[in-house]
A and B are shown apart, each in its own frame.
Chain A
């Protein structure tokens, strides 16, 4: 057990180093939030009526989209490890799958918290003015952290499932588009009824609604608990699936 812990630390260091050197992915994860923010606020925002200033409405959505997308990159890095020769080296040293995946997930969390800070920075610059107190901020960040963690583990499972890194890349595509069918960019009640059913009941909507409500200091009711339940559920299923898939992949 203490081996797994020490190995995890080594693997986290590795994943962080690899992340910091992947210029392509790094640029992408820094540019994406800024571009999306500007596109939504200045190009689409004028035509969308949400009852508040649009930058205030959309910031949680952009944060979630970027964090989700960033976390889903875990699938590609896990898949690269599994298809390259490095996995054999790790296996020959009896490194547990838990340590290898923990490295990727921890790097993903660090990466996406950084991109979240960036989105908040840009949002503040262009007029985002949340009304949250310290407790609300902490609660919102807690939910965001749970979401990033859940999507990172889900991505790790997807990376173990994919036969090639290119295949794993397809998963990031799915994660990137699911937020559009939620309350991230437009209120759900403007959608046609057939998609509204999906948008209202998919996990992204409660996560967004909680973060938005907490930051804007509007009543959130039980939504944060629904969001946490979703994240917890995804987390448990993903970790169990990852363990099984890793075993199958390396046996």
Chain B
């Protein structure tokens, strides 16, 4: 966007370049500013905008000519929590209006919240695809976190579990492993890793997050992830 034009001037310019008439471009600009919570800032120069406001104006500029498909590349990266919430709200509304949104993100929480369909990309290839629920089911519904007695126990149990570990937190002596949360499975797991009943101090069950899915699917920390939201 042009830093030295106001938000409204930028949007009107984009409207004119999309071959709207002068009044049409003006109306569309005002409508978008209002919708993106920029109505008050519309007459200020873009150079005075915060990061979140710029991001919203950027998205608004892409919507001037009412596209039916829109690609968003990490739209919330670097935004503060409130701006991120506002951006999520806007994207949800877009989807509600019937726009197909392709969105890439590093934040698995974001994909979980916004996407109808998710594709997980690791090292350039799609390693899994489906709805959030389907993906979580592929790994397991839940994660069992074991807090170990000491570092020796931590190493021993980590050795037994091998690549089944989906969360490894050495500082807290915690290891996470996928489970269906049935008593039988949890009991079997405990018997397997801690036959002496001394290594595991406490345990907790969590609903699986997409982070768990990613770790389980790729075997290493989050590096890239892609999400697509269809209507």
Answer whether A and B are interacting partners.
yes
> A: which residues have CB within 8 A of B?
3, 6-7, 10, 13-14, 17-18, 21-22, 85-86, 89-90, 93, 95
Within the complex, which residue of B1, B5, B14, B16 is in contact with A17, where a contact is CB–CB below 8 Å? B5
List, sorted by A's number, 24 A–B pairs whose CB atoms are closer than 8 Å: A3-B19, A6-B16, A10-B13, A10-B16, A13-B13, A14-B2, A17-B4, A17-B5, A17-B9, A18-B2, A18-B4, A18-B5, A21-B4, A21-B5, A21-B45, A85-B1, A86-B1, A86-B2, A89-B1, A89-B14, A90-B17, A93-B14, A93-B17, A93-B65
Is B4 a contact partner of A10 (Cβ separation < 8 A)?
no
Min CB distance B229 to A, Å, is 21
For chain B, which range describes its interface: under 10, 10 to 19, 20 to 34, or 35 or more residues? 10 to 19
Min CB distance A88 to B, Å, is 11
In the complex, which of the residues A18, A22, A85, A95 has the most CB atoms of chain B within 10 Å of its own CB atom?
A: A18
Interface of A is mostly: helix
* Alpha-carbon distance A90/B45, docked complex (angstroms): 20
What total of A-B pairs shows CB separation below 8 Å? 33
Chain B 1-44 interface residues, beta-carbon cutoff 8 Å to A: 1-2, 4-5, 9, 13-14, 16-19
Residues of chain B within 8 A (CB-CB) of A18 are 2, 4-5
* Alpha-carbon distance A17/B13, docked complex (angstroms): 11
Min CB distance B92 to A, Å, is 24
Is B19 a contact partner of A14 (Cβ separation < 8 A)?
no
In the complex, which of the residues A6, A17, A89 has the most CB atoms of chain B within 10 Å of its own CB atom?
A: A89
Residues of chain A within 8 A (CB-CB) of B5 are 14, 17-18, 21
Residues of chain B within 8 A (CB-CB) of A85 are 1
* Alpha-carbon distance A10/B4, docked complex (angstroms): 16
* Alpha-carbon distance A238/B17, docked complex (angstroms): 26
* Alpha-carbon distance A22/B5, docked complex (angstroms): 10
Instruction: Check if B61 is an interface residue, CB within 8 A of chain A.
Output: yes
Is A14 a contact partner of B13 (Cβ separation < 8 A)?
yes
Q: For residue A86, which residue of chain B has the nearest CB?
A: B2
Q: For residue A15, which residue of chain B has the nearest CB?
A: B2
Min CB distance B56 to A, Å, is 15
